[in-house]
Every structure is written in C-alpha cells, then in structure tokens.
Amino acid sequence: MNISFTKSGRLKPKPSSEALGFGKLTTDYMFIMDYDAGRGWYDPKIVPYSPIPLDPSTCVLHYGQGIFEGLKAYRSPDGRVLLFRPEENARRLNNSCDRTCIPPLDENDILEAITELVRLEKDWIPSAEGTSLYIRPFIIATDPFLGVHPSRTYMFIIILGPVGNYYPTGINPIKILVEDEYVRAVAGGTGEAKTMGNYAASLKAQDKAEKLGCIQVLWLDGIHRKYVEEVGSMNVFFKIGGKVITPALSGSILPGITRMSSMELLKKHGYGVEERALSIDEILHAHKTGTLEESFGTGTAAVISPIGELLYKGSNYMVNNGAIGPVTSMLYDTLTGIQSGRLPDEFGWTFEVK
Ligand code: COI
C-alpha cells in the first residue's frame, strides 16, 4: 500500500502512566482508507487525529452497519514494540465484514496499516506494567441514504490510545450479574461478529448490573436462559473440579483471541480444558458442593480478569472466597509476560514492529 502522510501542526502532551484507565485518550494520528463500490478500498492515509464530518443521513448512524477490532501494542523491557497475534484480528475483522455485508480488506493491508500507524506513534506506548497502546480499527458504512440496504461506501479507520486497566478496580476480582432478563445474542444473529449493535444491545443490562453493584453482566443463552455465554467485554472461564471449562463457540459468542490463547496456554500447562455448553445450574451446583474453584474473563481490553462473585436471581455466590485463584494468576502472568516481551514467546504469537 502507498500510505500518504499529513503532518500534524500540534502534538498532544503524553500522559503519565499512573492514571491511564481505558479509552480516555487518543494519540496524534489516525489511519483512514475509503471504499467505493466502483473503486474498491482506496486512498490509504495517515492524518492528524480529528473529528470526521458525516452527513446526518449516513448509514451507520441509523442502522449500525459498522464493526470494530481491539488489539494492543506493548513496549518490551529492551525497548521493542510488540503486537499480539495481529493477524488474528485481521482475520476476525474480515469475518465481521462478511456478517455485516461490508466488503473485506486484504489482511496484509490491515496489518500494514496497523504497523505503520503504531510505528509512527511508538512514543505513545507506555512502559509501566499493565499498560499498553490500545489499537482500535473500525469500519463504518458512509452512504448518505436512509433505505435499509448495505452501503456502497465505507471508511476503515484506526485510532490509538494509551491504556492501563480496563476496570477501575485494577486486577482485583470483580462481581458480575448473571443476566436472566435481557439477552445479548442468539445463534444466527450477529453475536459472533464484532459489530457495533451487539454493544448497544448490552447497555441496558450493563446499566442494571451497575445499579446492583456489579461491574459487568454474564450473559445466558437467548433461548433457554440457561447456558452461560460471555461477559460484557470478555469471554468467560470456570474451573470446576480441576477442569477449566469455557462455553463452546455456538454462533452467539465472540471468538476471542485472548480466549483462544488462554486455552492454548492452559493445555500447555497441563490443564484439562473443555469447550462445551455450561449451564448456570452446573456452576451453582459446583458452588454448593465446593467444586467451583475459579472463574475469570478473558479479553484484549480486560486481559485476564478474575471473577470473585456472581449475583444471580438476588443471591450472591462467592468464587474462591473472592480471591484471585492460581490458574487465573498463572494465565495473567504468562499472557502479559509474553505480550510485553518479559517472557519468551514459545508460541510465536508476538509480532515486532520494527
Ligand atoms: C477488546 O477487548 O478489545 C474489546 O473490543 C472489548 C471492548 C468492548 C472494550
């Protein structure tokens, strides 16, 4: 790709690592590429970060034809810039394109765009433990047309921002609401695509969870309200009787890259991992009989987040006495160690931006 570059006249001050949080800051530049049905994807450019003017009748503003990805760039102790399995994000972006009638991109172009932008903005990558540069590629449908129809024009944009912990509680165990009223997705819907509407659909339950003192929602399946699916911004795992179980990708669950990597790490460390339907009743039975050992969520933004308590139908269920369990700790340490270049990468997961 021939990516054009427009220099910014004024660069923002870089923040200190202490109070980064998640999603509050953006860097100086962004990547944009346009699509037109007649030309395909064209005009890749890196330009100063700025608002994008949109016609009020723009398709994405009305019908949500838009998708996104999330990945991170890390600064290793020896100063290298590392991405974690970015080719998986490129592949998933195209899968989300397919589900939402957005024309696919060349996956090498996606990687090149990410790499070029991160290289340019590498001074924004924080180096304190638990921090990184979050990368948010997204595509929006830009036709100014109010008919319900796939757009003929799109924008592929990548923005960046330095981040710390996703949850204000840091890596302390979180309390989640097992949601039995609202549903996020059903098989055949858009649950396995990273499309904007899935997140809009989650807000009502998220709001309810927060009012009940929980940080996120554990979704149950949309048909029986029985099988666990995923947590707000993460996939979910439960350790029961020595086995680590995560819901199988049934069509309504996001195929997480941290989920996939965690399963590979667990297998390597000798844990039995089961991907299968897991009912809330089985989890509560395990709680009752003392075999519910640990629970955690996995996600790019949330990394590995221990779950210390479940709230279901008005009753609270502590997991591992609300403490971080050994498997959760091992996964957090190993995964963040590999991602940030502090541990050797035997899997070949990291990708150096040179
Ligand atoms: C990520 O983990 O990168 C995500 O995209 C989840 C997001 C909704 C915060």
- Domains defined along the chain, listed by start: 4-163 (3.30.470.10), 174-340 (3.20.10.10)
Cα(68) to ligand 1 centroid in Å equals 9
CB 219 within 8 A of CB 184: yes
Cα(288) to ligand 1 centroid in Å equals 33
The 3-class secondary structure across 116-128, one letter per residue, is HHHHHCHHHCCCC
Whole-angstrom distance, CA of residue 56 vs CA of residue 33: 21
Task: Using the structure block, give the residue that is written with the tokens 């048909």.
Answer: 223
Q: Is the CB of 163 under 6 A from ligand 1?
A: no
The 3-class secondary structure across the chain, one letter per residue, is CCCEECCCCCCCCCCCCCCCCCCCCCCCEEEEEEEECCCEEEEEEEEECCCCCCCCCEHHHHHCCEEECCEEEEECCCCCEEEECHHHHHHHHHHHHHHCCCCCCCHHHHHHHHHHHHHHCHHHCCCCCCCEEEEEEEEEECCECCCCCCCCEEEEEEEEEEECCCCCCCCCCEEEEEECCCCCCCCCCCCCCCEHHHHHHHHHHHHHHHHCCCCEEEEECCCCCCEEEEECCEEEEEEECCEEEEECCCCCCCCCHHHHHHHHHHHHCCCCEEEECCEHHHHHHHHHHCCEEEEEEEECCCEEEEEEEEEECCEEEECHHHCCCHHHHHHHHHHHHHHCCCCCCCCCCEEEEC
Whole-angstrom distance, CA of residue 18 vs CA of residue 24: 13
Greatest CA separation for the chain: 64
Q: Is the CB of 136 under 6 A from ligand 1?
A: no
Q: Can you tell me which atom of ligand 1 is nearest the CA of 134?
A: 3
Q: Is the CB of 300 under 6 A from ligand 1?
A: yes
Q: Is the CB of 15 under 6 A from ligand 1?
A: no
Cα(300) to ligand 1 centroid in Å equals 6
Q: Is the CB of 298 under 6 A from ligand 1?
A: no
| From 199, 233, 253, 258, mutation site for ligand 1 pocket: most ligand atoms within 8 A of C-beta | 233
Protein residue with least CA distance to atom 8, ligand 1: 233
Cα(301) to ligand 1 centroid in Å equals 5
CB 273 within 8 A of CB 244: yes
CB 54 within 8 A of CB 61: yes
Q: What's this model's pTM, rounded to 2 decimal places?
A: 0.96
Q: Can you tell me which atom of ligand 1 is nearest the CA of 301?
A: 2
Q: Can you tell me which atom of ligand 1 is nearest the CA of 23?
A: 9
Per-residue pLDDT of the chain (354 residues; tens, 9 = 90+): 999 999 999 999 999 988 798 999 999 999 999 999 999 999 999 999 999 999 999 999 999 999 999 999 999 999 999 999 999 999 999 999 999 999 999 999 999 999 999 999 999 999 898 899 999 999 999 999 999 999 999 999 999 999 998 887 777 899 999 999 999 999 999 999 999 999 999 999 999 999 999 999 999 999 999 999 999 889 999 999 999 999 999 899 999 999 999 999 999 999 989 999 999 999 999 999 999 999 999 999 889 999 999 999 999 999 999 999 999 999 999 999 999 999 999 999 999 999
